[in-house]
Amino acid sequence: MKSLVCLKQVPDTETQIKVNADGSGIVTDGIKYVINPYDEFSVEEALRLKEKFKAGEVAILSIGPDRCMEAIRTALAMGADRGVHVCDDAVNSGDPFVMAQTLAAVASNQEYDIIFCGHRAIDDDFAETGAMLAELLKIPQITLVTKIDVSADKKTIICERDIEGGKETVESPLPCVVTSQKGLNEPRYASLPGIMKAKKKPVEKKSLSDLGISPDPKLQAKNYSMPPARQAGKRFEGMEPQDAAKTVVQALRSEAKVI
Amino acid sequence: MANVLIYAEIKAGKIKKSAFELASEGRKLADKMGGELGAALIGPGLEPFAPELAKFGVDTVYTLEAPELEGYNSEYFAQALAHLISETKPEIVLISHTMQGKDLAPRTAAKLGVGVMADCVSFSLDGSTLIGKRPMYAGKCFAEWTAAGSPQIATARPNVLETAETLKSGALSKVGFSVDTGRTTYVTKELNLDTSGKVDLTEAEIIVSGGRGMGGPDYGLLEEMSAIFGSRATVGASRAAVDAGWRKHSDQVGQTGKTVTPNLYIACGISGSIQHLAGMGSSKVIVAINKDPEAPIFTKADYGIVGDLFKVIPEFNKELKVILAE
């Protein structure tokens, strides 16, 4: 089973985001970067498929600046076999179409049975790249997946996916793009031997000219702003539970008018 | 010829409320552009829906029917929508950022070679350029986006845009279309829908949410509170509670779960990590119940009760029953 896992490096969820002075973006100083949590589920699932079939490989595809190498190495330490790092200033990682175009160009030179993407990256929150990649490669997409079962002949896959108000089980021919949702698995931690081995695993660095494409940007952002500030309101401390509860419930009715 | 086209999603034989939000917004945009508003319907038995869309300002209702479009399918629905867009050449296309919309919009856009401004919470026009304001980092910041090429496609967050009735003709236009079955796709084997009638977190007016302070998987007190509020309320959870296995993943509020905007958010035993606050910080009114007076959630709460939730909530529920019965 050969899996390609698309991996994005994003600010850790505990990061306080600040907008820069001219509103052209966010302040990136001091940000701690991690693997997008949904991509960690992808890495884990690809490793489990390789283990189940006792053959194949897990290749990590990542687009971004030099710092992304750390995320790729982490995935290799978890057990992935090799990496492809597209490191080129001309790729705007905030444009899902450009990301999908670039990933499609990488994928078209690889052998794969399945491509994993996180269902969204928790930085830009677009939730688009996986579906766009699938369309550009003219293969099916199965989004928001929480369970995977690949047939013994590696020709079909059965997935459970989240839909509004429930779940759906779908069957698709391979290859296809699967986007990972929370609940798919519990990602493993990198072991110490894994970390040592990862240092020697191959990571190919590629530029857009290596891939033979020029990016075709579709989206532009400006006027970044912070959400309206929220002030602490009334606080009830040292009161009998009954009195505090009664006061707040009454305030929700007469003051806040939400109940 | 529509200048603005909306995709009207149908769920369980009804047009979703979010489609009427799109129609209302689309009407405003079309009026500003001096143009027409169209609505796309895909699936079987579509004609009866036209008058409902007309009520919210739709000039033309385009229907696309084919045997393969009985149930939702990414590839076939994207083919249908892309076909309609190529035929009618709208300048703007609006789709709801629902689970289906998130699946459909990017695939449709990729077929047309354009981008999607996803999850917008407000729209404006600069000439004929659509500007979509959208949250990023789960709402830790916002930015204004524009899209190159035609059409300009955006998805809108449900429950944020307001509905406004404006009666238009809603003239029916059947669009000839046949699915290209040469493209591989998945087939749906089984649907497992929650029949409890529980409202989804992203659409609930009131959310009662529990965190690490619940101490275990017994959410009886919160379920009771939610039941007192009735069908407009539901129970959510923090990441700590979900990771502990106390609640389902789909209940999680926060940056790695769902971003929610209810009228009332009641946080019980939730300390308020940055990623949680990002996911619920746009709620209209926030109540926090926590025994730790230093919990960050209190900095965002409109009403904060410092106390033991196991003592406070039973009293809270008692009082709620009294007040709601009035």
- Smallest Cβ distance to B143: which of A134, A221, A244? A221
Any domain includes A218 = no
Give, for B134, the enclosing helix (H) or strand (E). Answer: strand B129-136
| Predicted pLDDT at B2 | 64
CA distance B234 to chain A (A): 13
Q: Check A249 against B184: CB less than 8 A apart.
A: no
Partners of A95 on chain B (C-beta within 8 Å) are: 115
Q: In chain B, how many H helices and how many E strands?
A: 8, 18
Any domain includes A179 = yes
Partners of B189 on chain A (C-beta within 8 Å) are: 158, 169-171
Same domain, A196 and A68: yes
Any domain includes A222 = no
Q: Check A246 against B315: CB less than 8 A apart.
A: yes
- pLDDT means per 10 residues, chain B with 326 residues, are 89 93 98 96 95 98 96 97 97 96 98 98 96 96 97 94 95 96 95 82 93 97 97 96 95 94 96 96 96 97 98 98 93
* Type of residue at B197: G
Any domain includes A223 = no
Any domain includes A224 = no
Partners of A167 on chain B (C-beta within 8 Å) are: 191-192
Give me A160's structure tokens: 């459970």
Same domain, A183 and A233: no
A242 is in which domain, residue-wise? 229-259
CA distance A201 to chain B (A): 30
| Predicted pLDDT at B239 | 97
- Smallest Cβ distance to B184: which of A173, A218, A258? A173
CA distance A202 to chain B (A): 31
| Predicted pLDDT at A179 | 98
Same domain, A169 and A242: no
Q: A218 with A154: CB under 8 angstroms?
A: no
**Of A63, A69, A95, which Cα lies nearest the Cα of A210?**
A63
What is the pairing mode between strands A82-86 and A57-63?
A: parallel
> Would you report the helix, strand and coil content of chain B in percent, each value rounded to 5?
35, 30, 35
Domains in chain B with CATH codes: 4-174 (3.40.50.620), 201-325 (3.40.50.1220)
**Structural domain count, chain A:** 2
What's the CATH code of the domain at A34? Answer: 3.40.50.620
Same domain, A204 and A233: no
Any domain includes A11 = yes
Same domain, A244 and A180: no
Give me A187's structure tokens: 């990602």
The SS3 of residue B31 is helix
Question: How is B44-93 classified by DSSP, letter by letter?
Answer: SS-GGGHHHHHHBT-SEEEEE--GGGSS--HHHHHHHHHHHHHHH--SEE
Same domain, A105 and A202: yes
Partners of B107 on chain A (C-beta within 8 Å) are: 131-132, 134-135, 141
Q: Does A22 touch chain B (CB under 8 A)?
A: no
- Smallest Cβ distance to A125: which of B135, B200, B242? B135
Instruction: Render each residue's pLDDT in chain A as its tens digit; 259 residues.
Output: 999 999 999 999 999 999 999 999 999 999 999 999 999 999 999 999 999 999 999 999 999 999 999 999 999 999 999 999 999 998 877 899 999 999 999 999 999 999 999 999 999 999 999 999 999 999 999 999 999 999 999 999 999 999 988 899 999 999 999 999 999 999 999 999 999 999 999 999 999 999 999 988 999 999 999 998 889 999 999 999 999 999 999 999 999 999 9
- Smallest Cβ distance to B107: which of A15, A141, A224? A141
Nearest chain A residue to B155 by CA: give it.
Answer: A126
- Smallest Cβ distance to B106: which of A132, A223, A251? A132
> φ, ψ for residue B226 (rounded to 5)?
-60, -40
Partners of B141 on chain A (C-beta within 8 Å) are: 17-19, 26, 224-227
Same domain, A196 and A233: no
Same domain, A181 and A253: no
Tell me the C-alpha to C-alpha distance, in Å, between residue B7 and each of B47, B50, B58, B82, B166.
15, 13, 11, 11, 18
Q: B95 with B120: CB under 8 angstroms?
A: no
Give me B150's structure tokens: 């035609």
**Of A214, A14, A136, which Cα lies nearest the Cα of B271?**
A14
Any domain includes A219 = no
Any domain includes A217 = no
Cross-strand pairs, B221: none
Tell me the C-alpha to C-alpha distance, in Å, between residue B170 and each of A40, B54, B173, B243.
47, 4, 9, 48
Nearest chain A residue to B186 by CA: give it.
Answer: A172
What is the pairing mode between strands A2-7 and A57-63?
A: parallel
Q: Check A252 against B303: CB less than 8 A apart.
A: yes
Tell me the C-alpha to C-alpha distance, in Å, between residue B275 and each of A99, A125, B66, B238, B318.
25, 13, 44, 10, 32
Same domain, A104 and A24: yes
The whole-angstrom distance between residue B255's C-alpha and the CA centroid of its chain comes to: 16
Q: A42 with A62: CB under 8 angstroms?
A: no
The whole-angstrom distance between residue B290's C-alpha and the CA centroid of its chain comes to: 29
Same domain, A205 and A247: no
CA distance A76 to chain B (A): 23
- Smallest Cβ distance to A170: which of B117, B186, B316? B186
Half-sphere exposure of B30 (CA within 13 A, CB side): 27
Q: Which residues contact A138 (CB under 8 A, 6 or more apart)?
A: B183
Phi-psi label, residue A115: left if phi above 0, alpha if psi -120 to 50, beta otherwise: beta
